[in-house]
Structure 1
Amino acid sequence: METYDCIVIGVGGIGSACLYHLARRGHRVLGLEQFDVPTDRGSSHGESRVIRQAYFEHPDYVPLLKQAYAGWSALEDVSGRSLYQPTGILVAGPADGEAVAGCRLAASQHQLSIENLSTAQAMGRFPGLVIPQNLDVVFERDAGFLFVEDCVRAHADAALAAGAELRTRERVRSWQSNGGTVRLLTDRGRYEASRVIITAGPWSAHLLSELNLPLSVLRKVMTWHADRSGAMRVENGAPVWFIELPEGCFYGVPGVGGESVKVGEHTRGEAVTDPFTVDRGLRASDLLPIRSMLKQLLPGVSPEPSRLAVCMYTNSPDGHFIVDRYPGNDSVVLAAGFSGHGFKFAPVIGEALADLADAGRTDLPIGFLGLSRLLQKAE
């Protein structure tokens, strides 16, 4: 049986960052991933992930975001790769809706710079977008998108360079904790470690079954569309955008170098009972809301997709992450329920997980993400 200081189960966006932070601290650490690194089977793929600071989900995320921005910059230096594309983000929605009001609240509480624009000003600045007149608009300059697969690859490569081991296409079947050690059974062998960190995305409920976490997994479709006008390209000044409409919340990422525009719906999604068998094809029902949205908001973009990808959201009941130690077991640390908005936090959450594994605590402001809030509600 091979023995390690720490084992990370699941080497996607969060797991690869955790693996890196543990390795750079000198631990003998192993990453176990049931697919490849990166992979298109989980939640950290699809070319891009939006990153922003005026966080409408909750102002408490902002201090973590500032750390995350610094972490991505540091990873660019370590890897020699360009991982972040600044574009700014335009957020539009009802004045009393979640998105715009949340942005303004986060900006006010944390002294962030945002612009309030009229719809005419917004469309004059970004002519590829048609924004309904009844919506409020804010623009945050310090935002953009991350090249998601490159980010995962950079964290994993940096972890390996720091001495980590990584084994792919090896599935963890079960784990057991006995005192100060944890034993793992995979489809290839057995391992033992002083600490185990579970960052398994849509497979978290299975590996944490004894906790009976109230997690729900949703199938989410991302599509790419030709930009016939050229107005929605990075080189022409197009931003990332997020628009809250009565029929749902939609987002888009501009194309780079003539590449297609990526769009998706943040709300809704089909429940996934088994992450291994999620439907990765394109259905007619997937396209109905996307076509309607594109015709309304982006008339210069083709409503027909040139390609697609399917990922999964693993949602917690309140939409906030779960980052904590396993109840009653200091040898196991977990991160789950990133609810479709967690990737941008990978460097800082990875560091927090390494702290929890190392010392059982962290100075990073993750208290509001503790597991106790959900267990108390379940009781």
Structure 2
Amino acid sequence: MTTTTTTMDDGVYDAIVVGAGVEGSATAYHLAKQHQRTLLIEQFPLPHSRGSSHGQTRITRKAHADDFYTAMMADAYQMMFQLEKEAGVKLYRKTGCLYIGPADSDTLNNVESSLQKHGCVHEKISSSEMKARFPGFAVSADMCAILDSEGGILRADKMISAFQTMFIRFGGHLRDGEPVESIQPGNIVTVKTSKGLYKTRNVAIAAGPWASKLLKPLGLNLPLKCKKILVMYWKERTRGSYSVDRNFPVFIHKMKHPTAIYGLPSDEYPGLVKVCLHHGPEIDPDLRDEVDVTWVKDTVREYVTKHMPGLESVPSVVESCIYTNTPDSHFILDRHPRWSNILIAAGFSGSGFKISPVVGKAVCELIMKTTPSYDLSYFRINRFAPTSRM
């Protein structure tokens, strides 16, 4: 998928973005839209399924326990609608998002407060109401839920393709199947790949699970951990009972241990419901498939048996992706502490896809040194222990 659409008199890009997952592709899209001469580099031939951004669907929602995410998601929705218009493709299906947990849960109270603060349409639903409206769920009397009315399904593969298509249409260069081997800092940064050398005034590293391997030679040892996530699809006992057409919502069920279960109605695979654990074993991203995941399957099977009895108790389809987690599950969006023209967008902790339009805009603003649209203090590198060695 290597493309070249413009030339440069001085041979120096305004920006190079490393990693063509959703965050890197969104960043490149915003840069090209602002007339920045931009190169987007991806190590694998596109499309691929080795990282974090592949697959047909993701959940989108404004329901967050941290209200700064709810605020940012308002912009993310609007930019997603704009991308739909530009690319002429449907990226979103509204289903509502059900955020489930104990009635006395601080998390649910915070989710409700965030939605109220930002004027988002929502309602609180008791366990009895939930059973009546969403009979596919079996929940105990001490449970309740917040229904985020604007939650829904993102067409993930189409969204990445739309970002990349529009990036090229706005004049960007995309090179795939070209691993980055080194980044040499300076006023002009040199990026060495398996196929050549490129010069740029700014680099944005959005390499997902491979971010640490690129950052460590730059003296930056971030506390990132890669986790293998099983993406599992469970067959409906009665066809259509958990379908979008019957108004079954996307959902997140906050558990005490180990984290949460999430799911999407039967849609991408007819008759199969996506139900997954928001957790998994730590891995080396280059050895993703060499790890035991039996306990993950067992955990989700127990959940399905107890809470979604209308599904078969054995998954019909099992796929894989990777989360890159930070200790506090908030992502990293910041400049390198020594070289201000090296930007890092990493550690999205399994929650970054829906907010990618905002991430791309924020990185673009950092590179162009324009007034930031968002408070990025939550995502600074210095919230962790000192990490730079150079």
1:108 Cα shift?
A: 3.2
Partner of 1:197: 204
Aligned to 1:256: 267
Q: Does 1:11 align with 2:20?
A: yes
Give the RMSD, CA atoms, in angstroms: 2.0
Instruction: Give the drift of 1:348.
Output: 1.0
In the superposition, relative to structure 1, how do residues 376 and 360 fare at CA in structure 2: closer, same or farther (>3 Å)?
A: farther
Please tell me the residue identity of whatever aligns with 1:262.
Answer: K
Matched-pair contact (CA < 8 Å) for 2:96–2:152: yes
Partner of 2:3: none
Cα shift at 1:204: 0.8
Alignment of 1:70-149 (within 5 A): 70-97=78-105, 99-149=107-157
Q: SS in structure 2 opposite 1:102?
A: helix
Deviations 1:286-325 (A, max 9, x none): 3211111111111111122221211111111111111111
1:225 match: 234
d(CA) in 1 for partners of 2:141 and 2:347? 35
Partner SS state of residue 343, structure 1 = coil
Relative to structure 2, which stretch is displaced further, 84-93 or 110-119?
110-119
- In the other structure, the counterpart of 1:235 is 245
* C-alpha distance in structure 2 between counterparts of 1:240 and 1:320, whole Å: 22
Matched, 1:368 2:375: no
C-alpha separation in 2, matches of 1:375 and 1:192: 32
- Determine what percentage of the aligned residue pairs are the same residue: 33
Partners of 1:29 and 1:106 in 2: CA distance: 36
> For 1:126-176, what per-residue CA distance to the aligned partner results, in whole angstroms no more than 9, with x for missing partners?
111111222122211111120111110110011011111111111001101
- Tell me, in whole angstroms, the C-alpha distance in 1 between the residues paired with 2:150 and 2:191: 43
CA distance in 1, matches of 2:50, 2:106: 30
**How far apart, CA to CA, are the structure 2 residues paired with 1:175 and 1:244?**
40
Distance 1:99 1:378 in 2: 34
- Comparing 45-54 with 156-165, greater Cα deviation is found at 45-54
Residues 182-203 of structure 1: CA deviation (Å, up to 9, x unaligned): 0011111111101111001011
Distance 2:194 2:338 in 1: 27
Measured after TM superposition, the shift of residue 329 of structure 1 is 1.3
Q: Deviations over 1:247-286 (max 9, x none)?
A: 44101100127341111111x31011x2111117885333
**Once the 2 structures are TM-superposed, how far is the Cα of residue 9 of structure 1 from its aligned partner?**
0.1
Superposition deviation, residue 360 in structure 1: 6.3
TM-score by length of 1: 0.94
Picking from 165, 185, 191, the partner of 2:192 is 185
Task: Classify 1:219/1:236 alpha carbon distance in 2 versus 1 (closer, same or farther; 3 Å).
Answer: same
Match of 1:36 in 2: 45
- DSSP 3-state at the match of 2:368: helix
- Identify unmatched segments of 5+ residues in structure 2: 1-9
| SS of equivalent to 1:117 | strand
Q: Name the aligned partner's letter for residue 263 of structure 1.
A: V
The residue that corresponds to 1:291 in the other structure is 301
Task: Provide the rounded CA distance (Å) in 2 between the counterparts of 1:36 and 1:261.
Answer: 29
Instruction: Tell which deviates more after alignment, 230-239 or 359-368.
Output: 359-368
- Contact 1:330 / 1:360 at 8 angstroms: preserved in 2? no
The size of the alignment, in residue pairs, is: 375
SS at match of 1:142: coil
For 1:292 and 1:298, the matched residues in 2 are separated by: 10
Q: Which runs of 5+ in 1 are unaligned?
A: none
1:37–1:153 Cα contact (<8 Å) kept: no
CA contact (8 A) 1:37 1:152 kept: no
Q: Which residue of 2 aligns with 1:154?
A: 162
TM-score under structure 2 normalisation? 0.91
CA–CA distance in 2 between the matches of 1:280 and 1:102? 38
Give SS of 2:354's match. helix
In structure 2, the residue matched to 1:326 is 336
1:273-352 correspondence to structure 2 within 5 Å: 274-279=284-289, 283-352=293-362
State the 1:78 CA deviation: 0.5
Tell me if the contact between 1:11 and 1:33 (Cα under 8 Å) persists in the aligned partners. yes
State how far apart, in whole Å, the 1-side matches of 2:163 and 2:106 are. Answer: 33
The AA in structure 2 aligned to 1:260 is L
Is it true that 1:265 corresponds to 2:277 in the alignment?
Answer: yes
Counterparts in 2 of 1:285 and 1:75: CA distance versus 1, 3 Å: same
